[in-house]
Amino acid sequence: MKQSKMLIPTLREMPSDAQVISHALLMRAGYVRQVSAGIYAYLPLANRVLEKLKNIMREEFEEIGAVELLAPTLLTADLWRESGRYDTYGEDLYKLKNRDSSDFILGPTHEETMTALVRDEITSYKKLPLNVYQIATKYRDEKRPRYGLLRGREFIMKDGYSFHADQDSLDETYQDYKKAYEKIFERAGLTFKPIIGDGGAMGGKDSQEFMAITDDRTDLEKWLVLSKNITSIDEIPESVLADIKEELGKWLVAGEDTIVYADGGDYAANLEMATSQFDPKAAYTEELELEKVATPDAKTIDEVAEFLKVDQSQTIKTLVFRADDELVVVLLHGNDQLNEVKLTNYLGADLVEAASEADVEAAFGVHFGSLGPVGLKEVRIIADREVELVKNAIVGANEDGFHYKNVNIGRDFEVSEFVDLRTVNEGEVSPDGRGTLKFARGIEIGHIFKLGTRYSEAMNANVLDANGRAIPMIMGCYGIGVSRLLSAILEQFARIYVEKTPKEEYKFSWSINFPKELAPFDIHLVPVNIKDETAMALTAELETKLRAKGYQVLVDDRNERAGVKFADSDLIGLPVRVTIGKKAAEGIVEVKIRATGEVVEINKDELVNTIEILNQN
């Protein structure tokens, strides 16, 4: 393919509105353009990567018997009224009317459409399981679209749906999908972790999220690629390294989620779901006598602990939440932070929010800062399970300026439920005892759910079972964010190239280092001067030979200066660059392997072998 015919509008500078490196480089290297906020055009290079991603997915899904179809995106509201989501989905749902004033939506997801499709065609358990998917455009009217393709209003998803007559069949398909997803992300070259997900909003019981891990970019060995005349990072002057570090640090670490994973084990979960090992055996401690102490002006845990000169671990925090119409008192060990997702999931209420100071005063007649569990009447008190282990604790005395010392559960107040409500910390032991917990940032690239009968019951999607009884189909759903994968890949494969000029100056620049199976082309042929007929003839010869070997080749046939060509080539980021320069007459070209920075001069006849060998790393 001739570069002059492609639309690859590279930019000289990073776009000023980009906050993450993937967004900046997708723009700068001419892969995408924003058409309106959160809505992008995928230019030819991006389109080629997307097609490669789609093909990888198709191959892996065929392996697990999933079948591709294509549902519409302009959907009648009626379907969404059946499931109840038309009114509850919120402002992210694009709504419109057609010429007959009927209500439509632009599909953000397709549970309803697929459930209705299968419901209308399948009546017997004998025709199950069915496992269908599509790769299609989705719409979500994000309040704040940002980070390029990571949070857009129009985006490409792979969404799959499976239908089963029994739970075992769903479990099997769910496991198949898990393996297929792992293969897909491995083939995409990604570093990722499958973690325990929060299926809350989708109504799922069992779910797993696939997170592409993002890095804080402090490890220079990983983030720099050195040109062949630089021996090691140590050789680079401190001032240049400082500039590089500043550049690396300038870009937000992408990823909306904090992932907790076990270093030395398999455990991984979203921070909102993560838990750590809990040892319920407390050491025996003698219960001391309850004592009320004056704590003037000390309201926060910090202030109280400091005033009383004790460790925070000796205190219990008292929080109040409103769960729908009920006030609930929540106790936490003084060291710990509440995990609101855990609390919300445990309470099972539609709305859980911190109670206001006015609520608390009205209910208990005390100010926030002096609230404590001793003496509270007619209120549900739940505590994190760690609280049970705290003896002779310090709590608020429900009287301004005073706290209780030596408070003990059972003797001084009652707790109705002990549950896991705290946010875990790095360094704690994994819940299965294998490994210690570490935190990382991650981009959600896939999600698999056991939906159960949430949609089939609401939409009357039944089949007859072996006994002739109508049963709701059991469903699973499986998503991959295809366009956001492109961003995730760039977050992991953006690199800073450092080169030493003939004048011994060190220069550095951003570049994409595309994984082999996804690069828009395999090889970039760059004739330095298109007016050099010998070089152009050699270029044409190499193009023909390389294409015959199955390589996809981009030829920079543009009448541009060498500097412009090389800069664009680095930005575009194909795995191999072949420069056809002055030695073309001798049949000699220069091969550069992007991932390693390696550069060799070779004879045209050895080109194919050389590429294969060098590009194996």
Positions 556 through 615 that interact with a second copy (CB under 8 A): 559
- Residues within window 212-231 making contact with a second copy, judged by CB under 8 A: none
Regarding 19 and contact with a second copy (CB under 8 A), the answer is no
**Distance between CA 280 and CA 270 in Å, rounded?**
24
Q: Six-digit token pair at 273?
A: 């779901």
Give the nearer residue to a second copy in terms of CB position, either 117 or 260: 117
Name residues whose C-beta falls within 8 Å of residue 26's C-beta, 6 or more positions apart in sequence: 32, 46, 148, 149, 486, 487, 490
Q: What's the CA angle centered on 227, arms 223 and 230, to 5 degrees?
A: 95
* Integer angstrom CA distances of residue 187 from 151, 158, 257, 480, 578: 24, 16, 23, 14, 25
Using rule CB under 8 A, residue 146 touches a second copy: no
Under the criterion CB under 8 A, does residue 466 sit at the interface with a second copy?
A: no
126 binds a second copy, rule: CB under 8 A: yes
| Single residue of 19, 88, 124, 137 touching a second copy by CB under 8 A | 137
CB of 599 to a second copy, least distance (A): 30
Q: How far is the CB of 194 from a second copy (least distance, A)?
A: 25
370 in Cβ contact with 399 (< 8 Å): yes
For 293: left if phi > 0, alpha if psi spans -120 to 50, otherwise beta; the answer is beta
User: DSSP letter at 148?
Assistant: G
By CB under 8 A, is residue 2 in contact with a second copy?
yes
Q: Is 144 in the site for a second copy (CB under 8 A)?
A: no
**Torsion sign across C-alpha atoms 49, 53, 55, 56:** positive
The rounded distance, in Å, linking the Cα atoms of 341 and 361 is 26
Interface with a second copy includes 75 (CB under 8 A)? yes
Per CB under 8 A, the list member of 15, 68, 253, 435 interacting with a second copy is 68
**CB-nearer residue toward a second copy: 6 or 589:** 6
- Provide the residue type at 553 as one letter: V
Q: 126 vs 250, which CB is nearer to a second copy?
A: 126
Stretch that binds a second copy, among 43-51, 245-253, 397-405, 502-510 (CB under 8 A): 43-51
Amino acid at 123: T
Q: Which stretch binds a second copy (CB under 8 A): 137-145, 364-372, 455-463, 542-550?
A: 137-145
* Strand duo 224-226 + 494-500: pairing: parallel
Q: How many whole angstroms separate alpha carbon 152 and alpha carbon 142? A: 7
127: contact with a second copy by CB under 8 A: yes
Say how many CA atoms lie within 13 Å of 170 toward its Cβ: 23
Query: Rule CB under 8 A: is residue 246 a binding residue for a second copy?
Result: no
113 binds a second copy (CB under 8 A): yes
Minimum gap (Å) between residue 53 Cβ and a second copy: 13
Spatial neighbors of 563 by CB under 8 A, at least 6 apart, are: none
Is residue 15 a contact residue for a second copy (CB under 8 A)?
no
Residue 58 C-beta: closest distance to a second copy, Å:
9
When asked if residue 537 is in the footprint of a second copy (CB under 8 A), the reply is no
Q: Of residues 92-111, which lie at the interface with a second copy (CB under 8 A)? A: 92, 94-96, 98-99, 104, 106
- Rounded CA separation 32/441 (Å): 25
The verdict on 70 binding a second copy (CB under 8 A) reads yes
Residue 521 CA to residue 556 CA, distance in Å, equals 12
Instruction: Identify the residue among 15, 44, 265, 369 touching a second copy (CB under 8 A).
Output: 44
Interacting residues toward a second copy by CB under 8 A: 1-2, 4-7, 9, 33, 35-36, 39-44, 46-48, 50, 62, 65, 67-76, 91-92, 94-96, 98-99, 104, 106, 113, 116-118, 120-122, 126-127, 130-132, 137, 139, 141, 143, 153-154, 559
